[in-house]
A and B are shown apart, each in its own frame.
Chain A
Amino acid sequence: MKINKSAIVMIFYILFLMLPIYWLINMSLKTNQEILSTFSLWPNDLTFDNYMVIFTDPSWYGGYLNSITYVVMNTVISVSVALPAAYAFSRYNFMGDKHLFFWLLTNRMAPPAVFALPFFQLYSSVGLFDTHIAVALAHTLFNVPLAVWILEGFMRGVPKEIDETAYIDGYSFFGFFRKIFMPLIASGIGVAAFFCFMFSWVELLLSRTLTSVDAKSIAATMTRTVSASGLDWGVLAAAGVLTIIPGALVIYFVRNHIAKGFALGRV
């Protein structure tokens, strides 16, 4: 039975993926005392105290708000500047286009570790240190090239005749772009936004380097808590679980586009 064999492979793989996550959830529902004293596969003494700590302490829930703020800013900025550029790359030849495209891609290859210190100095000198926009702009370094690349792939799939017909029908460039072209590549925009969201949401190094108090991200909050209090495993686990939720929601909404989306419009 072939179907069964596939199902077994999938079940094992998903089990492998889910076990560590389950363990995190398990720990987030235990008291610290239970975590350290007894080893149990599920919480014996179910508690939501760890979550309450996070929801009542502004330095915790503030971290979430800060992260979401700069992630959304980054996604909006990245996609909106990438759209016209991707259109230009997909439709026109112009001086240096291929070099420019490759140069853009090289920025996706830049290790954040290389840029951490210069970014710190740059944003400090222009007075943007510890602001949301600083992190959002820093993340455009790798998100803009990716967005351009993804969108270019989707736009290439739209026949040029559609543009020409629209111009003949008397649309202005902006009218055409907004009313005709954008709906056609809606799924591409969705995929690009998804990836921007993803890479900005999961990044730690730059967001930690560029913030200290006011715009401190949840990721940074978590690493600092570890070093400060060291042993508050329950709260740490709860904070971790809460960071998984936005990602899970985003995936759930795009689940039907995942297969095509992950091919970046290139299948």
Chain B
Amino acid sequence: MAKITLSNLAHSYTSDNEYALKTMNHVWNDGEAYALLGPSGCGKTTLLNIISGLLAPSQGQVLFDDQDVTTQDTAHRNIAQVFQFPVVYDTMTVRENLAFPLKNRKMSANYIEKRVADIASMISLNDILDKKANGLTADIKQKISLGRGLVREDVNAILFDEPLTVIDPQMKWELRTELKALHQRLGHTMIYVTHDQTEALTFADKVVVMSDGEVVQIGTPTELFEKPAHTFVGFFIGSPGMNVLGAEISGNKARIGGHELDLGHGYQNLSGKLEIGIRPEFASLSRNPDDLPITINRIEDVGHYKIVRASHQDMDINIISDEGAEIFEDMKFVSFDSSKINIYADDWLVEP
């Protein structure tokens, strides 16, 4: 297990200055579970491949526990990886699959047997240990490839590259829960790449949100929810994403169109493109004419809550209202929980 340091790291696939990964400096703590979250093409797989050693960065270093591993290949970094599509050795039994990495490292037979038995019971594969890996379902195969990583006691980190892509929906949830439990029990450093926010938020201690080759925020799920560091994080996380409204801001007041809103805090010396961000969860419909007037376009009932799709002038505003709360014709205004309003200048969060 190891702390992972990315120092001045950047990568470009082409020789010109088109960076798939823009310069970054981060330290990822030992034993924590990280999720790399972002849309396709944001650079998350590139970053994962650099950490696993499949790709050499065009600039900067990767350190495991302060030891520079940038030039080491995958085999010497002592990492384990679970891929998008299950990789198992079809010709071997489940037991042989699990024993394979240990055998290759010339461990003693006794040790291998014990270790395989431990891991198999941990990820509940004991019943099928002597089956051929060939005919098993995708979720079991993913467990086996995870198991091949877990059997090694010296792994620095376990990497997951969208491991649930080919898993049936009901198994996804189960596998994710199991993974989370495993992490709490074993305490490996885990890095989990996904474009699915639910997966990221339920699995990880810290979520690393990436966009366009850049890490825009690293934070706990709560932080990402309440204080998105960038409007992109606001949009990307949450369903529906954060409302972002263009505004003028002076002191502790924001003006949208002709309307003035109270802000929880005062702001000084703002410049650039200014916006306020408010999550639909912290907005509510009201009858108070002092609030922001809106037009309701549509109401979607999604089970335990309703999404009100509304707009003010040409800005969309989404509001989440409880299942029980009734919505009346004359509710033509929206009020925001002023303590939950975030201010963005040129898309980046401004602290009061």
The reply to whether A and B meet directly (CB within 8 Å) is: no
**Residues of B bordering A, CB below 8 Å:** none
**Residues of A bordering B, CB below 8 Å:** none
